[in-house]
Amino acid sequence: MAPSGTIFRALGDETRFRIMELLLTHDLCVGALARRVGLSEAAVSQHLQVLRRAGLVRGEKRGYWTHYTVDREALRGLARGLEALAERKPPGASACFRTILQQEEISGERRTSQMCCTDCCQHPEKLKGKPEECTPEQIKECHGEVKEHPCQSEKKD
């Protein structure tokens, strides 16, 4: 099965989604699909190519024409993936929403790793600039009910 990003891009187009709906009810050739969605056969062929690359449909030669059908197992796999995504637990309250990339050289090889940033604000995009410039409302929104800005007290130590 194709990566989920490829599948979502394929299904994200209204025409391709409509083609999928039609193919879930009947196996159809390009001409029949073109008449039902109101596009040229060439345009439908292009949409089918995207759906095939995503692993969502497959074609079967029947005489002169190729009839397309939905790979229902691919849809089920996608549904299972979405279900697993929905079941993921959110990170703890102290989880950092921003990360910085740290590059280090280990035995002549350059490696990049992610680590938690030093700014503990949960919504850094709402900061005025520096922690000491935050309004009490911003501090409350980022950190909840605290007496002083936690980022300032960290920097004092």
**pLDDT tens digits, residue range 17-70?**
999 999 999 999 999 999 999 999 999 999 999 999 999 999 999 989 999 999
* pLDDT score at 156: 45
| Most confidently predicted of 1-5, 40-44, 60-64, 99-103 | 40-44
Indicate whether 110 belongs to any domain: yes
CA distance 108 to 7: 39
The tally of CA atoms less than 13 A away on the side-chain side of residue 85 is 7
CA distance 11 to 5: 10
Q: Domain count for the chain, please give it.
A: 2
pLDDT band at 121 (very low <50, low <70, confident <90, very high): low
Residue 32 and residue 41 in contact, taking contact as beta carbons nearer than 8 Å: no
* pLDDT score at 157: 44
Q: Is the pLDDT of residue 1 over 60?
A: yes
* 18 SS3 class: helix
CA distance 53 to 1: 9
Instruction: Report the candidate in 120, 75, 112 with the shortest Cα–Cα distance to residue 94.
Output: 120
Indicate whether 94 belongs to any domain: no
Domain containing residue 152: 99-156
CATH number for 10: 1.10.10.10
Same domain, 24 and 80: yes
The tally of CA atoms less than 13 A away on the side-chain side of residue 31 is 3
Final residue of a domain: which of 40, 61, 87? Answer: 87
Report field, pTM of the whole predicted structure over 0.85: no
DSSP-derived letter for residue 108 is T
pLDDT band at 88 (very low <50, low <70, confident <90, very high): confident
